[in-house]
Amino acid sequence: MDSPDEIVMPATRMHSTSDETTKLVDLVLEYSRRRILSDDTPLDKPLSELELARLAGRTIDEQGIGAAKALALFEHVLAPACITTDHPQYLSFIPTAPTKAATAFDLVVSASALYGGSWLEGAGAVYAENEVLSWLSREFGLPATAGGVFVQGGTLGNLSALVAAREHARLAVKQSGTDAPARWKVVCSAEAHSSIASAARVMDVEVVPVHPADDGMLRGADVRAALDEHGASVFAVVATAGSTNFGIVDDVASIAALKSEFDFWLHVDGAYGLAAMLSPLARHRFAGVEHADSVIVDPHKWLFAPFDACALIYRDPETGRRAHTQHAEYLDTLTETSEWSPSDYAAHLTRRARGLPFWFSLATYGGNAYREAISSSIQLAQDIAREIESRPRLSLVREPQLSVVVFEHEGWTRDDYAAWSSRLLDEQRAFVTPSSHAGRPNTRFAIINPKTTFEQLVGILDTM
């Protein structure tokens, strides 16, 4: 008979450094090493839930299936049912293209049990993240006192910035002894990202969408009309620095110039495009960003970091802290100090030190490598735009400014684009999805990966 000790699973089995856990760690690191260094991971594609249920089946039971089997299931069934978002021919939505250094260092962040919420617990990690935020602030022309935090994504970054903006407006109203407006409003382009409307719903404020000119750029004159009409109920204006659909940068300088006449918080949503401010090819498009009260940029988009990271930067970090610090008895030791605690600057508390993969990569390669990599995609977008123009049945919907190229095929319906798109994915040639503008169907190349080539894009055009 087995003694009870041998039957009962020891409580520490999963946490001990044993033969079992050593083998498991080796397996996982070996897989990660192969994946990070692989040059030919296929694009892959989703499977239906039914297919996955047939192939993967039930994966969880009381005894555990063991690391080898679980990892094999991931490698051969689950991972191939996920599109490879860092593939050079992934050209939909906004792709991702993490550097080798950033991806590898993500493992280190996971291995180190870092708590990124407070200086007390994670001073070293927070210091490094702040180095990155300061570097970005300098690039964006913000004052040396600017600061913020890495949050999960642009959606949460926009929300957190707008909450700080409204808090700022509320305080101003309180201090001046005037009445608060019946409803707070935020002005943005009608082509702004959907996360602005999402933030407004969460905050229960109203969005005032302003139609930009035909070229997609929102300008000060358009914003002025909205400010005239909605007056002091406008607490913030959002300028988009690189729209998601087109990569168009609003005329931030002319919008910022209105700050001398109207009292509003200027938030720059640069989740995708603000990275291009690092490139000499595009820097001029971002004049005025230096006047922003807050900005966001997603390192998991065009700054080559793995998911998920958004840099949220406040011109005056105290405005963010006032809006977001959580107070509780058990947190008093954290909140009653002057030390920099990232938790205080957004709608979150516990946080992964998610800025570190970007920090490690930036520290490793230096800023110039980033400028080169970003510039290469801007140049490629220009080159492929010229190629599209030269083809009789293709036309650009708008002239590209950054690295998104939107184009139409003469006479194609939404169904034509959809059929073409799924054929490209079925053949594992490319991931290019249908899109639309003003009710007209089109398609687009969103180029972020420096390994995407002109020849690859031409090859895709040839299939149309």
Binding site for ligand PLP (CB under 6 A): 94, 153-155, 158, 193, 195, 240, 244, 269, 271-272, 298, 310
Nearer residue to ligand PLP within complex by CB, 303 or 334:
303
Nearer residue to ligand PLP within complex by CB, 121 or 308:
308
Nearer residue to ligand PLP within complex by CB, 96 or 341:
96
Shortest approach of ligand PLP to residue 273 CB, angstroms?
7
- What angle, 0 to 180 degrees and rounded to 10, lies between the N-to-C axes of helices 154-176 and 317-324? 90
Nearer residue to ligand PLP within complex by CB, 241 or 380:
241
Rg of the chain's alpha carbons, rounded to an integer? 24
Nearer residue to ligand PLP within complex by CB, 409 or 444:
444
Give the separation between CA 29 and CA 47, rounded to whole angstroms. 26
Shortest approach of ligand PLP to residue 325 CB, angstroms?
23
Shortest approach of ligand PLP to residue 269 CB, angstroms?
5
Nearer residue to ligand PLP within complex by CB, 244 or 343:
244
Shortest approach of ligand PLP to residue 152 CB, angstroms?
7
Please report which residue ranges of 289-428 form alpha helices under DSSP H: 299-302, 317-324, 332-335, 356-365, 367-390, 414-426
- The residue number with the shortest CB distance to ligand PLP is 154
Give the separation between CA 244 and CA 271, rounded to whole angstroms. 8
Give the separation between CA 170 and CA 176, rounded to whole angstroms. 10
Shortest approach of ligand PLP to residue 196 CB, angstroms?
8
Nearer residue to ligand PLP within complex by CB, 103 or 195:
195
290 vs 24, 134, 151, 234, 382, CA distance in Å?
49, 13, 21, 21, 27
| Structure token pair of residue 218 | 């929102």
Shortest approach of ligand PLP to residue 445 CB, angstroms?
15
Shortest approach of ligand PLP to residue 62 CB, angstroms?
38
Shortest approach of ligand PLP to residue 244 CB, angstroms?
4
Nearer residue to ligand PLP within complex by CB, 301 or 409:
301
> Which residues are within 8 A (CB) of 246 and not within 5 positions of it... i.e. 6 or more apart?
191, 216, 397, 398, 400, 401, 404, 406, 437
Give the separation between CA 383 and CA 375, rounded to whole angstroms. 12
Q: Are strands 434-437 and 404-409 parallel, antiparallel or unpaired?
A: unpaired
Please report which residue ranges of 91-240 form alpha helices under DSSP H: 100-111, 119-139, 154-176, 194-203, 220-230
| CB-based contact 253:241 (threshold 8 Å) | no
| CB-based contact 267:289 (threshold 8 Å) | no
Other C-beta atoms closer than 10 Å to the C-beta of 233 total: 17
Nearer residue to ligand PLP within complex by CB, 285 or 409:
285
| CB-based contact 308:354 (threshold 8 Å) | yes
Shortest approach of ligand PLP to residue 310 CB, angstroms?
5
Give the separation between CA 389 and CA 393, rounded to whole angstroms. 9
Nearer residue to ligand PLP within complex by CB, 249 or 334:
249
Nearer residue to ligand PLP within complex by CB, 153 or 317:
153
Other C-beta atoms closer than 10 Å to the C-beta of 41 total: 14
Give the separation between CA 446 and CA 432, rounded to whole angstroms. 9
Shortest approach of ligand PLP to residue 275 CB, angstroms?
11
Shortest approach of ligand PLP to residue 415 CB, angstroms?
27
Please report which residue ranges of 204-256 form alpha helices under DSSP H: 220-230, 252-256
First to last CA, the chain: 71
